[in-house]
Structure 1
Amino acid sequence: MCGRFAITLPPEAMARLFEAVPGNDVPGGERFNVCPTQTIAVCTAGKGGRRLRGMRWGFLPHWYKTPTDGPLLINARSETVADKPAFRAACRERRCLVPSDGFYEWTREEGKQPLPWFIRRADGEPMVFGGIWQDWEREGESLTTCAIVTCEAGPGMSSIHNREPLVLEREDWGKWLGEEGKGAALLMKPAAEGVLTWHRVGTKVNSNRAEGAGLIEPI
């Protein structure tokens, strides 16, 4: 799964990365511990071209009466995203790209403190997750929300966790966004061997209130 990640690119750089028009609601500043329910930068596509927008990380199905009316849906499994009632319309019509520097995952042994790892691209390029999004509105409250798609972990990553976020290559961004016809389902697979690398980081990141560049430093 993906429950915490880092993003240090300023909004202008993210807009250039995706060749998108940036909105005023895109959060700025270096963020080394992005958590669920926070606003994150998301790239969408439409008739007017690509847009970089701010969205709540935590997908809200249209039947939720309040943002806390059900489980917090930060991830959508690739195996069921096209069929699950909460996600299927968004999977067909509202896919998005989520930029990051990398994400955190934890190994757990019974009776011991969880040990965090930071996973990033081996080539040093920004990591881009495939996601889905939708607008939610109820009784005057409106939110634009998203979830990150996850898939079964590849051979290397599986030693840390059995799931990983869907990491998309630059040449596949247009297809995922629906700009280049159908075929997005073929992209829902683990990152190719050698794309990802990882290192152990300090346990300070176990707290969702922790911040700072030291969180991603190797130990």
Structure 2
Amino acid sequence: MCGRFALRPGRGELRALRGNYAHIDDWDGEDDFVPRYNIAPRTQAPVVRRRDPGPSGSGSGSAQDNQGDAPLVMQTMKWGLVPHWSKVEDNTLNTINARAENLAEGGGMWGSIKGKKRCAVPCQGYYEWLTKGKDKLPHFLKRKDGNLLLMAGLYDSATIEGRTIWTFTIVTTDANPEFSWLHDRQPVFLTNKAALDAWLDTSSQTWTPELSKFVLRPYQDQSVPLECYQVPKEVGKIGNESPSFIEPVASRKDGIQAMFAKQKQAQTEPSSSQSKSLAPSSSPPKPSFSPTASQSKVAGAEADSNAPDLHPPSTPPPKVKRPRSASPIDLTADDEATEPEAKKVKVADKNTKAGSSSGSKPKKAPPKSPTKNKSKSSTSSPKKSTAKPSAGGSAKITSFFKKT
């Protein structure tokens, strides 16, 4: 299939059919053609055909006319063939391509024109889209030597609402095995003057078996090699126009390789500057503070002034004096079981006095039965505690026993 092609050489090059095909003197409708790198269906493009010797110029010559000797003429036509019997221009018809198999079989809408209305469509190359999953990648196929390609075509004219319109279609066949990965169809190419003359020779006004063999054969001209490469996706939109559309994406300055190089450079520069800013200083970090916490403090200082200060305080916080408990000194369970009860009571009384002198209101200890205390004192033997009370507490207890 061929649904888009490029044709924007100099007008002198186009008239000379760059590639040594032939030189063309006349160009009908030259002003109607706008050279473009993105020629789409329903737009104007030039085709090459034999000049019709009939006075009307409608292309309906007789069998006696020697079409093989008629001069070549270039004519601007609309891409998308409208048959001559049409009363309206139906844009819904899919006539931008004509399958070679249909031409060889005979019949159909091409039967009345394939014998006498053949043309060649010049181009610099054509576009084809490769489907990869959900993505479609445009490719451009052209001659390696850069000369113009000629594609086999058919043309016709129709009078609609008093106006004569000229239209054409491009003949397609099976793709060359070298390019079948891109698409299963390919235009029929006319790569030399002999092929061009044979295709444009409509003197017999009939379709011959030789023509069927020619159009059904995939491209095999080893003397004119073709090449294919990916091009930018912007060519997919009909209104876009750029000389970069026929340049390989890989070799363009703004192509995909250059884009990836710029992205890689942009990613490398911030990471290198960030690594410099986060590099540890020469002075060792404080032993009680991790480097990660200090780095996050520096990074968020400007962005969030309310962020908590993660550095430790320079001076320890003041100690808060709490009132001593009225309960006995916290000893171990074993000590409480072996210590005389009388001694515990005395220690509690001493602590109560100390709490009163410090200004805090002591808590009242629960009353204890004197009988119970005496029985415990008489039955239990005193044992020295193994717990080590605080320094202040030892001094107070010792002074208490000296007084008693």
TM-score by length of 1: 0.91
Report the Cα distance in structure 2 between the residues aligned to 1:42 and 1:86, rounded to whole angstroms.
Answer: 20
Given candidates 136, 151, 164, the residue that maps to 2:173 is: 151
**Residue 61 of structure 1 pairs with residue 83 of structure 2:** yes
* Structure-2 residue corresponding to 1:119: 141
* Structure-1 residue corresponding to 2:125: 102
The Cα shift of 1:180 comes to 8.2
**Residue 174 of structure 1 pairs with residue 197 of structure 2:** yes
Q: Which moved more, 1:17-26 or 1:164-173?
A: 17-26
* Structure-2 residue corresponding to 1:72: 94
Q: How many residues matched?
A: 218
- Partner of 1:159: helix, strand, or coil? coil
Report the Cα distance in structure 2 between the residues aligned to 1:147 and 1:117, rounded to whole angstroms.
Answer: 21
* Structure-1 residue corresponding to 2:219: 191
Contact 1:8 1:30 in 2 (8 A): yes
* Structure-1 residue corresponding to 2:370: none
Q: Greater RCO between the two (CA within 8 Å, min separation 6)?
A: 1
Report the Cα distance in structure 2 between the residues aligned to 1:52 and 1:186, rounded to whole angstroms.
Answer: 27
TM-score by length of 2: 0.51
Contact 1:12 1:22 in 2 (8 A): no
- Partner of 1:81: helix, strand, or coil? helix
- Please tell me whether Structure 1 or Structure 2 has the larger radius of gyration of its CA atoms: 2
Contact 2:100 2:171 in 1 (8 A): yes
The Cα shift of 1:42 comes to 0.5
Q: Which moved more, 1:15-24 or 1:36-45?
A: 15-24
- Partner of 2:234: helix, strand, or coil? helix
- Partner of 1:187: helix, strand, or coil? helix
Report the Cα distance in structure 2 between the residues aligned to 1:21 and 1:43, rounded to whole angstroms.
Answer: 11
**Residue 205 of structure 1 pairs with residue 235 of structure 2:** yes
The Cα shift of 1:121 comes to 1.0
**Residue 138 of structure 1 pairs with residue 160 of structure 2:** yes
Contact 1:178 1:184 in 2 (8 A): no
Contact 1:10 1:28 in 2 (8 A): no
- Partner of 2:114: helix, strand, or coil? helix
Q: Which moved more, 1:42-51 or 1:159-168?
A: 42-51
2:220 corresponds to which letter in structure 1? A
Structure 1 spans left out of the alignment, 5+ residues: none
2:131 corresponds to which letter in structure 1? R
The C-alpha deviation readout for 1:86-136, integer Å capped at 9, x for no partner, is: 1122210010011000000001133x2210000001222211100000111
Given candidates 184, 191, 197, the residue that maps to 1:162 is: 184
- State the identity %: 29
* Structure-1 residue corresponding to 2:40: 35
* Structure-2 residue corresponding to 1:10: 10
Structure 2 spans left out of the alignment, 5+ residues: 54-69, 250-404
Contact 2:121 2:152 in 1 (8 A): yes
Contact 1:201 1:215 in 2 (8 A): yes
Contact 2:174 2:185 in 1 (8 A): yes
* Superposition RMSD in Å: 2.0
Given candidates 25, 31, 37, the residue that maps to 2:29 is: 25
Structure 1 or 2: more strand by fraction: 1
2:212 corresponds to which letter in structure 1? A
The C-alpha deviation readout for 1:41-71, integer Å capped at 9, x for no partner, is: 1000134411110011100123433212641
Structure 1 or 2: more helix by fraction: 2
Q: Which moved more, 1:172-181 or 1:48-57?
A: 172-181
Contact 1:151 1:163 in 2 (8 A): yes
